[in-house]
Structure 1
């Protein structure tokens, strides 16, 4: 017999073991442990031999289409033990999580997945975000003011982030705790963080022949010219950026560009319909704010 309930401290070793089987995501446990109220929002399916499935959610403050703030229930760490799949555990646990979100006053719910079919029966619908990609431009500006930065300098980054995203739909309203814990978990040593002092920053992940722009804020032409120059030095020829087509600095990064749809996001209304926010042409959910 399966019992559906909120997690207790005794469940944590089993949860960690389950996630280790299902995910190759080193940031998962640090992010989970950084949430002091995680256990009442961690829904588990317990069988005769321990935890068989889990759904975790956390409250996040997200900009809406009007520039205000919605309280959003972010779903994360969804997993079922391989020998317990096909029993409807996730749908049952999502039902508990959605009820918990409503009780907490959440306006809508958000998740990111490569398996949308798991969530559609619980009322979630896919939405699209813009990804811009193409061959890199030649560097055309002086880039001597660009330097390597660290997430330890978060007050500088936070000021630029807040100004850049003050009215941008789907962005997270980051707290100091987010900058101290959540951002470093995503932007570890594999991410190249560059700052133009007082002007802007970019977070990059380099590959053999391409570079990903994971996040960008502020005045970007000098930073994008630095990316183009560094790419040429590395033999990198292409970029992909989580930027909308209306970003005015794109010509400093791309010689040519195309916009493609990222359909990994799903949302579900609770008290508010998120459709206007999700459909906004300037909407972005930055990588460091994934749950």
Structure 2
């Protein structure tokens, strides 16, 4: 049975057998030593001169480089056009047959300035295809995380909605219609892309509205970005716990930029 391995405990030299000289060197010295073994051959990919181990080399060196440089520290990245800032807690890789599986745990995440408490990302069926640029494909990505109700409400208030939202002390959400003088105290949850809203109390012009008259039908979430599917999202006191599933995705990056970003601690770019 395959198990996760920690890139910190798996030297790139074990994957490519560069020699015992690498074992006694620091990681940065290893990085400099192996640079030509995984960057220079990129130009020759079209001529078939790269060995079958090249994806292993790229995956191993990049994962070890990112974890060694940013582990426990704040990382900034541009991911598929979005600005991401987070503290990297875990980055693990394992080979599953012809492909890889990666696990990344982030805390104090800011996705385009929107705060998320913590995120765990597991990418299945990962393939790294060397080239200019280098491509990364994943057959499926599972994202689990938590964010505060306040953060979600703040994001929703930035959207062109007919309702203004505010979080009450009990964690429920007070929704006020912008033009109809209707207010409601609500809770919501998502299961298998179906949004259900529970109305606890509603008022119109200060008068209580019978709950039977303000039942909200379920809303099917369709056309989400990147064909995402929301498996579940539910409130747990002042937090919202969620799981999002993404189908096959492809990204690419420039090896030279990635190497420079790791060495200098600047922004990683995957587009």
* TM-score over 0.5 for the pair: no
Identify the structure with bigger relative contact order (alpha carbons < 8 Å, sequence gap 6+).
1
Q: Over alpha carbons, which structure has the higher Rg?
A: 2
What TM-score, normalized to structure 1?
A: 0.30
Of Structure 1 and Structure 2, which has the larger fraction of its residues in helix? 1
